[in-house]
Amino acid sequence: MGFFSRRRGARRYEAGEFLFCREILGIQMIDRILELFEEEAETSGNTLTFRRKGMEISFAAFGTGDEGEAGVYARRELDGIRDYFRQVRTENTDTLRNLMFVLGRCQGIVRVNYSFELRNERADQERIAAAENMIAQVLRGMSAVMTKGGEAIAGADGKVILDGNGESEVKSFLPPLEDTSQDDKKKGIPGEALERRRKSVMELRRRQIYVPFWLPVLETEARTQARTKRQVCGRAAALLTVALYSECLLGEGMKPPQARAFVREIIEHFRADEFFSPAEKAYLEDDFSEEAVRIHFSWQYENLYVMEWALGMFDSLSWPEKICDVGECVRKMREFDSFSEFEQAVKLRSKRELLDAADFIYRLDWACTDAGLNGFPAPGGILPDVVMERHRALFWAAGCMTADPGEGKKGQADRSAGWDRVDLST
């Protein structure tokens, strides 16, 4: 890559690395480094030099916001390292994705060089260690990463995050957290929403999945209009119907009239026709629906699973690394002889539980979307389609964003088409 230098002459040792940070101006980087060390230093433009016991260590800073050659240099070098690692092939895809996220947000470069007169092996190693410790302080203080050995990126601990061969010395790598909660609180964002976001971010981090704090928060309990138990039960009935109907078309090779006849008993049994969304109703009446549409509706088993969880029929939601147990979801619904019995037997989870789950899946869906947009597989071995369907179901159940109440009110207009217009943006 050409980012690394290390030379040992007859009497002098010289070495250097590049540091990559978020600061956009060279002067910001220089000021930040000065804050980290309580000692005198020589400054000359964008360069800072410290002298320690016969050793000289200098930091030259360049930001993409700098004018002239400094800005051009910063942009060129940052583009170069991003392009280099974008071409790396590795099994450590989560590590590469997170590293690219960090490099993508970097706006500054610090070129660090240190040198000293050679004396003896012990004294020389002490000076090298002192320089590396100083660099590590800068890395921690600026939440930066650095080159190591010419074809690798390392963190403040000196361990290689990833090298040009796709190898890593760390079990996992996550971008540093940038908690915006205090600033958000000053803007009037409710503490309940901030705490819910914090819990989701930290739980995902525990699972080695990075999501930033700066993503929006969801509404508070007081500001959401969660679904009623009747609406959730009705939605479960509608989802069971369209999913089973799709299975008849795709798996059993039935024609639409045959498939409709097959699910008619379920519709009557659970009064599902009271709860179909406009799109579901149109699909069930369409004799010429396309295969892509049928596949889309076959995924509604995933949403049924979430509704059953919301009604206490499952103790917890499984990690979305595989599709739900379709047979078990159907079996649980068949335990009831009527919609009335179904509605009376279940208990809707609290609004807090629904919002907690919605917040978590929203942030997990962001991680999936971000990975896909940047050419990476979803993190943690999860299935993006499963996550997206859970996002839809949980936002609807909790009444988040544009998931306005609608179905389940027979004879009333459906505001914003409810289920068909759940906000899935991340």
Helix (H) and strand (E) counts in the chain? 15, 9
* pLDDT computed for residue 404 by the predictor: 34
* pLDDT computed for residue 412 by the predictor: 33
* pLDDT computed for residue 139 by the predictor: 97
* pLDDT computed for residue 416 by the predictor: 35
Whole-number Å distance between alpha carbons of 244 and 301: 8
Nearest of 19, 36, 23, 112 to residue 66 by alpha carbon: 23
Nearest of 197, 155, 188, 113 to residue 20 by alpha carbon: 155
CA 122 to chain centre: 46
Pairing of β 152-154 and β 160-163: antiparallel
DSSP string, 359-389: HHHHHHHHHHHHHHHTT-PPGGG--HHHHHH
Q: Report whether 98 contacts 174 (CB < 8 A).
A: yes
In the chain, what is the straight-line distance between the N-terminal and C-terminal CA atoms, in Å? 35
Q: Report whether 86 contacts 100 (CB < 8 A).
A: yes
Query: In this structure, which amino acid lies at residue 53?
Result: K
* pLDDT computed for residue 6 by the predictor: 56
* pLDDT computed for residue 411 by the predictor: 32
DSSP 36: H
* Residue 96 burial by Cβ neighbours in a 10 Å radius (0-12, 13-18, 19+): buried
Q: Report whether 163 contacts 50 (CB < 8 A).
A: no
* pLDDT computed for residue 125 by the predictor: 92
Spans of all domains in the chain: 10-161, 227-396
Q: Dihedral through CA 382, CA 388, CA 394, CA 395, nearest 10?
A: 140
* pLDDT computed for residue 187 by the predictor: 87
| Structure-block tokens of residue 261 | 């006849």
Q: Report whether 389 contacts 258 (CB < 8 A).
A: no
- Distances in Å between the Cα of 382 and the Cα atoms of 213, 308, 364, 368 are 21, 21, 9, 8
Nearest of 365, 355, 348, 360 to residue 398 by alpha carbon: 355
Nearest of 136, 135, 134, 132 to residue 124 by alpha carbon: 132
Nearest of 318, 296, 18 to residue 145 by alpha carbon: 18
SS3 assignment, position 61: strand
pLDDT along the chain (426 residues), means of 10: 53 93 97 92 93 92 97 97 96 96 97 93 91 95 93 95 97 89 87 95 96 92 93 98 98 96 96 96 97 97 99 98 98 97 98 98 97 94 97 96 39 52 89
